[in-house]
Structure 1
């Protein structure tokens, strides 16, 4: 039996060897495949967690942007309302009307005779003046009737026509200035907080990827590594100085906007009489004409419109800005590194502001705000008409599609009533304390390109940051940890321009740049609902 078995194995030893080899190879291959599948599954799980972490940070960043705008907006709104005191002009008009009634009363001698004369006064003036204060928007500082200005100078006397013309120009200028200031503040805040959010995110990822120096030591997770904070700018002093540059728009930039808007409003609305009837279509055309004078008449002019001077000061005034905003006080040892990191942030911010994408998103924000303003005028100034007011698109792209109807079907309202609506809407636009701000909400929810723009800013220059970190680590003989993790996570919001940090401000001519391509892809991929 044993001999027969030996002979069988001897006869089939070749086949058995081959079979054993096949089985062994199959087992090893199966183990290899199983290990690779397990490794891929683990990597996918880590990738999913990283993506969710990046998405959560990004969404929280956008929420922070909204609250930051609400906190900063009253600073500029208060100054704009003081610089363009519509309510004070209205009080003066009412005072002149009261004086005129008093003179008529004295001339007639009796109250009964006054009642027969007062109806002869223009009814439009009474209605318009009352509509300016229907919502109680009278500032405490403007409630006095002293003819002396705050600086001690006597105010020049103006007749009723001059006062009405000043009310007309001031009301429109104030609302338009607030809209432009709000739009600029929204997009500038998105740039600032998303740039800082990106740098802080990279710093935290690399810090967590670094192995602890002592495994047996229990320590808190503070991520306060000197090299990382210097490389990525994740330090309090740099962030504080960078965020202080919003001071320029809140105290200087809006004045430039106001001067340009006032000039345009005077040219467009100057010939109109406040008692004149205006249709909704004509009002929209007048608004658009003012916007063309401010933003640019053609698509090419709007594309090359420069907004940098409204948002950032000239280089020679940066130190003065930091002094005015009260953020100076860093120690000498950290001053050079802070200045270098701050310079990098400001240069990148200037590149983004000068890009065509910035102008495009800003125009969409303005479209949304002016459409809201037209809707409010439609609801308030035209509500007394017999016909239901028709909403007229208030944007550069849609105005050509508006086909005005005949005069008999076109709702009309007194221009004075429209001015009253604009005077009240100025307080709504500048509202940063009472929730919600309708115009800010309209921009957040109606302009999906704003979130796409923020996503591009948040995810841009990831490679440039990593290159800078790698160079710094190589110079100290260390490796740059965590780079693979960052490169995987940056794909969640597709968009980087590795050359922007190293080149001067040339984004204005980069319609085909990586930044533009990333923005286009972000517009396609971002959901329609804003955070």
Structure 2
């Protein structure tokens, strides 16, 4: 039996070795495939977990950006309301109106009691009359209980005070006298006898008239100041909030990327190596604080630059526009677009370069100055290699064409919301159809609404302008690019 078995094995040993080799190889290959599948599954799980963690961190970073913007907006609100305090000018006009009531009443009484042969012309919103060279102008204000006399020897622009109940500005009436030179010779002979009676009641009336006329001129100046400042404040608020949001989103997402790289490499297995990496290439707390200090450049230098640019554009667009000019909604939207064009220019690709000096300092001396002014006593003005890398990378993002696209999209979103907020005042109820019909509104009546809009832009609850800017898909894409732009030398591949 044993001999037969031995003889059988010797005769078929080649077949046995082949069968055994194939079976062993198949077993080993199966084990290797199973190990490889397990490894791929673990890697996929790790990458999925890493992406989920990165997504959660990224979303949390965007929330942090939003709260940081809200905290810095309060600084802009205080600066803007102090520098462009339209409300105080309204208060001065109200006080001037109350003071002028007494003067106007006295002047009206004296005029009525005196024997004056000059005709009286009433000027209001519904009728106009020609004014002769020797006429006296009687002006009816918005309450119809106040009158003021003035000599017709010069052009007079009459501006009413806004009603406190409906917050509307009274219409502006412009009265201009002509042909003064043709009648000057005839009037001089009649005025000679009047000038000689310096102690007469007529002379006293002329003095009151002159004081009243000077008061009107001052009121004109104040209303013109309101016109410029109200538009400047609201439009500047949109630019400031947009640029502040973009600056903070770039800075915090850039820091978030480095902090994320540090957190994913912090394991028990390579903790010692990670500490070396952290000290060598990632960021220290002091470097982060120095980097965040550069937001002070925007809050100081950038703020002044934006307000100056907007003020110049507004004055250029509104200087020739009368308070009585009626605007439709399309004309108002065109006016806003015209002001934007004067501020931004027509070259969309160069938009980022126009606002670069607003967001970041351009040279080393300005960088050191900001660290000295805004860094406090705990930070020195040394710009180390890590801080320099952060600053250079930030400037590269701002100079990029992608950023120009993002800035243009965010500004468009904010200004579209501004126009949408102003849309209801250009419509009124139609009694016939029961719906809304479009109407024109004078520039004077538009001023209270545009003044109030600045508070809504910066202090609105909820902050819808900030929501519109941060929810812009272009800004979200830029934030994701900044957050996920990992360096190859880090050896971390966590991109989606």
TM range (shorter): 0.7 to 0.9
More strand by share: 2
Is this contact kept in 2: 1:90–1:129, CA < 8 A? Answer: no
SS at match of 1:320: helix
CA 1:298–1:352: 2 relative to 1, 3 Å = closer
Aligned length: 407
1:188 aligns with 2:243: no
**1:208 and 2:267 aligned:** yes
CA distance in 1, matches of 2:45, 2:76: 47
Which consecutive unaligned segments of at least 5 residues does structure 1 have?
111-115, 135-155, 214-222, 388-407, 467-482, 493-531
Distance 1:100 1:130, change over 3 A: farther
Within a 5 Å distance, the mapping from 1:459-478 to structure 2 comes to: 459-463=484-488, 466=489
Q: Which residue of 2 aligns with 1:56?
A: 56
Does the alignment pair 1:353 with 2:435?
no
> Where does residue 162 of structure 1 map in the other structure?
221
CA distance in 2, matches of 1:232, 1:56: 21
Whether contact under 8 Å (2:294, 2:360) holds in the other structure is yes
Q: Which residue of 1 aligns with 2:175?
A: none
Residue 287 of structure 2 contacts residue 386 of structure 2 at CA under 8 Å; is this kept in 1? Answer: yes
How far does residue 130 in structure 1 lie from its aligned partner after superposition? 5.3
Question: Cα distance 1:85–1:212, how it changes in 2: closer, same or farther (>3 A)?
Answer: closer
SS in structure 1 opposite 2:384? helix
Name the CA distance, whole Å, in 1 between partners of 2:216 and 2:369: 39
Q: Does residue 474 of structure 2 align to residue 449 of structure 1?
A: yes
Instruction: Summarize deviations over 1:119-163 as a string: whole Å, max 9, x none.
Output: 2779994556655599xxxxxxxxxxxxxxxxxxxxx99523222
CA distance in 2 between partners of 1:358 and 1:291 (Å): 18
1:384 CA displacement: 3.2
Q: What is residue 437 of structure 1 aligned with on the other side?
A: 463
Are the counterparts in 1 of residues 303 and 358 from structure 2 also a CA contact under 8 Å? Answer: yes
User: What is the distance in 1 between the residues matched to 2:297 and 2:364?
Assistant: 12
Asked whether 1:416 is paired with 2:444, we answer yes
Of 358, 376, 379, 1:310 maps to 358
**TM-aligned CA deviation for residue 257 of structure 1:** 0.8
Quick one: structure 1 residues 91 and 59, their matched pair in 2 at CA, closer, same or farther if it must change by over 3 Å? same
Match of 1:365 in 2: 410
Closer/same/farther in 2, CA of residues 207 and 9 from structure 1, 3 Å limit: same
Answering whether residue 399 of structure 2 is matched by residue 382 of structure 1, we say no
Match of 2:71 in 1: 71
- SS of equivalent to 1:208: coil
SS at match of 1:384: strand
| Structure with higher RCO (Cα < 8 A, 6+ apart) | 1
Change (3 A) 1:19 1:451: same
Partner of 2:154: none
Contact 1:76–1:251 (Cα < 8 Å) also in 2: no
Measure, in 2, the Cα distance between the counterparts of 1:158 and 1:82: 25
Post-superposition Cα deviations, 1:33-70, rounded to whole Å, max 9, x if no partner, equal 10100111111111111111111111111110000000
Q: Which runs of 5+ in 2 are unaligned?
A: 111-139, 148-157, 170-214
* Pick aligned residue for 1:175 from 234, 241, 251: 234
**1:409 shift after superposition:** 6.8
Shift of 1:232: 1.2
TM norm structure 2: 0.74
1:437-456 CA deviation, whole Å, 9 max, x = no partner? 110011122x1111110111
In the alignment, the residues of structure 1 paired with residue 429 and residue 96 of structure 2 have an alpha-carbon distance, to the nearest angstrom, of: 30
